[in-house]
Chains A and B, each alone.
Chain A
Amino acid sequence: DSGVTQTPKHLITATGQRVTLRCSPRSGDLSVYWYQQSLDQGLQFLIQYYNGEERAKGNILERFSAQQFPDLHSELNLSSLELGDSALYFCASSPAGARNEQFFGPGTRLTVL
């Protein structure tokens, strides 16, 4: 158990819908990252937050948005869902320091029908 929690574990929805994925980082970790894992794109970095502020952005679609709240939990919002958004979405957190190893949550498997 990495200490990072994600809810829900599975999500099935229809095209055009909007969903919210939630992540709680490990106690004390200020950074939260979101990654998408799909069969065709592999593991891709989406976005990073550090202590409530956006720190880095990757290949995140405009239909997707995220935020980190004062209690450091984070939410990833996916809207106008398409079939191709079906993937495993990971949240990770890391402590401050040079290593910055990232500890991943169990993931949310999103299926868009």
Chain B
Amino acid sequence: AQKITQTQPGMFVQEKEAVTLDCTYDTSDQSYGLFWYKQPSSGEMIFLIYQGSYDEQNATEGRYSLNFQKARKSANLVISASQLGDSAMYFCAMREGHNTDKLIFGTGTRLQVFP
């Protein structure tokens, strides 16, 4: 069965430093999509970045990049130049296959950025 694993319940990073949030996935499908969402304390879910299984280059969106290692089934989120406003929960999610659009979420990583 498809599964997303986030092994870091919490991470700390100093302002202006880079941080990597880990995500591994399990699927038997060849076609899938990987997503990262940010959930601040206010509760909304903010879409950050997407990586398709057939994309040859790692996705980047501003300060966010996705380190996609297909053979290892990992899709780590890298946040460069952390800001205090980056403090939030971060969720990795997967959409599997062609027949479903549902997202399966990991348990999340709480990131705290300190001055």
Query: Which residues of A are at the interface with B, using a C-beta cutoff of 8 A?
Result: 2, 31, 33, 35, 42-45, 48, 55-56, 58, 88, 90, 92, 94, 98-107, 109
Which residues 83-110 of B sit at the A interface, judged by CB distance below 8 A? 91, 93, 95, 100-105, 107-108
Residue of B nearest to A50 (CB): B101
Are A103 and B47 in touch, CB under 8 angstroms? yes
Indicate the member of B35, B47, B101, B108 with the most A CB atoms within 10 Å.
B101
Q: Separation in Å of the A107 CB from the closest CB of chain B?
A: 5
A-B CB pair tally, cutoff 8 Å: 58
Known: A101-B50, A102-B47. A56 touches B37 (CB 8 A): no
New A-B pairs, 10, CB < 8 Å, besides A104-B46, A107-B45: A31-B101, A42-B107, A43-B91, A43-B105, A90-B45, A98-B33, A99-B52, A104-B44, A107-B43, A107-B44
Query: Which residues of B are at the interface with A, using a C-beta cutoff of 8 A?
Result: 33, 35, 37, 43-47, 50, 52, 91, 93, 95, 100-105, 107-108
Residue of B nearest to A92 (CB): B45
Q: Separation in Å of the B110 CB from the closest CB of chain A?
A: 13
A101 vs B101: C-alpha distance when bound (angstroms): 9
